[in-house]
Amino acid sequence: MISKLFDQTNKGKKVNSLRTICEVHREIYDLLIIHLQNNPKALVLIVPKLEEVYLMGIKMNLKMIERKCEVKDWAQHHTQKEAAALRKERIRLVGILNFAATINK
């Protein structure tokens, strides 16, 4: 099957804001493990790259949160609940990255 991704562009169209890049990476990982479990050579090649891109997505998400929180007057446009949720998400992402650093030593 040839991907239609490069045949047409969604530039300027809203993407699904309910899903994160990390969620899609996890789904791809699960699909690969399920459908390529009988092909360990392929998994050995693909999984490390998928793990790398997963961590890149986490870093990107973390940077976006940090930059959003640095914007002048940011707090005036958000409720305390929204601010607390962003701080909680930032702490969660830092925890994932710290854990990844310990297992990649």
Domain edges within the chain:
21-103
User: Cα 93 vs. chain centroid, distance in angstroms?
Assistant: 10
DSSP for 41-78, written as a single string: HHHHHHHHHHHHHHHHHHHHHHHHHHHHHHSTTGGGGS
**40-70 and 21-35 are packed helices; what angle lies between their axes, rounded to 10 degrees?**
170
CA distance linking residue 82 with residue 84, whole number of Å = 5
User: pLDDT tens track of the chain, all 105 residues?
Assistant: 444 444 455 544 555 667 777 788 888 888 888 888 899 898 889 888 888 888 888 888 888 888 877 777 766 767 778 878 888 888 888 888 888 888 765
